[in-house]
Structure 1
């Protein structure tokens, strides 16, 4: 104020300008910041609208970042007509790439090797380089020509990366990798190792999905809850999609896998949560009192049953939670399920060959939500 007075402004005007600036400073954005953010938002919306395939691949390749997980990005892309193809040792690069798609004017997204947990970029760069010289003929051909460590080949097998190239599912590929050891010798540089055809137990559909989630955090085949839906339907638990269709004020019970939790410091203890099932996403509002009463489930649960009331304002729908129950242990049942039948298959809970295990996989899917404060 004194500076403005010194520059010839009246005290009344100087104090009025100061109060306006102080009020704006408590909530306002600089214009340059607003303009920059608006440009990024517009460009992102335009890209997703006109090039959803490019948008999805770019977001996945930029991970870890932002609010949404790879699983959510892939699901949203597929719901907007983008074809997403599985990881393949003969076609995938480290990053997600675009391939000619089945729809005119639209490319398909090939998932990249970067999504496989524990895979090393250096080993895969070498594999991709050798692959460019001549296509691989078999798993042993990769091991012989590239020298890829057996442990890395096992991760590729667990991700079902040999299925398209060699017709070997996770279990069959892992069985053939077991005969490889150490490093290939120069004597065998041009010798193809015979890969025995073994009679293996078929993986259940549930086991395949469990392996997918354990290996790269998503599955292109089934959502985990699809295998448990018959059980929940008998208890009157509806899908998220059906909940989104209900009128304002309707009481409902849903089940969902936690995607994100938001606990803003300015929200007075309110928790915002996003869940999903095989049908759709659903946003929850959990008041502080409910959050404290159901604290363990709200803060630590991965698979939840939520009872509450639909809040609808136009096209915006939330579920106001009244009760939250943690049922994460239900995920342990998935490996024993085939298709979506409510049936436990005897003898399929393990994951090995007759006389020896091929995979020692954990029976349950681990839910890794994104939590923000």
Structure 2
């Protein structure tokens, strides 16, 4: 890591972001060890003598849990190659009768169901007469959600500000396309940060 900083001149926040994202794993360090070492490595500069830093030796640090790795991936890069954030909640969601995107594909049409996912995008085309289209994403796929003006107005803050949602609605299927007509929206708390593409 010190050699990387010395050769490239990257900053402390940049080397910390690389360590958080797991890029430094290739040097045989866990993410927590790499974060600790990032402080020492960041002091390495071409104008200084090599190996002279104020940071002491690293303590014994535990590895990151699956949840913490997902959070670290999303914070550092906006994506994760490991578990999807919803996958960490799947057992509880199933216990509450909340369907996955995969299960939704075979659920009977015109039934009321609940789904949960990370908000991938919100869109309100000018030609849609105020209807908002939303995509939720879980570890099994994408869910198309249609939100009427009335439903949006009733749940405006939750609908516009939440990174993840539980949505109850009526399942509609036509021409092999499955949509959920939203009736109720509820914030789904996640420990991992998420980002959506909104109104583009």
User: Does TM, scored on the shorter chain, surpass 0.5?
Assistant: yes
2:16 aligned with 1:157, yes or no? no
**Offset of 1:184 from its aligned partner?**
4.0
> Which of structures 1 and 2 has the bigger CA Rg?
1
| Corresponding residue number in structure 1 for 2:193 | 366
Superposed, 1:144-293 pairs within 5 Å as 144-163=6-25, 165-180=26-41, 181=43, 183-185=45-47, 187-188=49-50, 196=57, 198-293=59-154
**How many residues were matched structurally?**
197
* TM-score of the pair, normalised by structure 2: 0.89
- Secondary structure of 1:228's counterpart equals helix
2:190 aligned with 1:331, yes or no? yes
Unaligned runs of 5+ in 1: 1-138, 333-364
Q: Is the 8 A contact 1:140 1:192 kept in 2?
A: no
**Offset of 1:177 from its aligned partner?**
2.1
Structure-2 separation of matches of 1:186 and 1:259: 46
* TM-score of the pair, normalised by structure 1: 0.49
**How far does the alpha carbon of each residue in 1:221-278 deviate from its partner, in whole angstroms, 9 at most, with x for none?**
0100111112212211111110121222121111111111111222122111111111
- Secondary structure of 1:162's counterpart equals helix
**How far does the alpha carbon of each residue in 1:265-294 deviate from its partner, in whole angstroms, 9 at most, with x for none?**
221221111111111101011111111111
More helix by share: 1
| Corresponding residue number in structure 2 for 1:353 | none
Distance 1:147 1:237, change over 3 A: same
- Secondary structure of 1:331's counterpart equals coil
Structure-1 separation of matches of 2:171 and 2:133: 14
Distance 1:151 1:322, change over 3 A: closer
**Offset of 1:209 from its aligned partner?**
0.4
Distance 1:236 1:146, change over 3 A: same
Q: Is the 8 A contact 1:297 1:324 kept in 2?
A: yes
Structure-2 separation of matches of 1:234 and 1:199: 38
**Offset of 1:140 from its aligned partner?**
1.7
Structure-2 separation of matches of 1:212 and 1:149: 19
2:132 aligned with 1:305, yes or no? no
Distance 1:260 1:146, change over 3 A: closer
**How far does the alpha carbon of each residue in 1:51-91 deviate from its partner, in whole angstroms, 9 at most, with x for none?**
xxxxxxxxxxxxxxxxxxxxxxxxxxxxxxxxxxxxxxxxx
Structure-1 separation of matches of 2:185 and 2:10: 47
Larger RCO (alpha carbons 8 Å, 6+ apart): 2
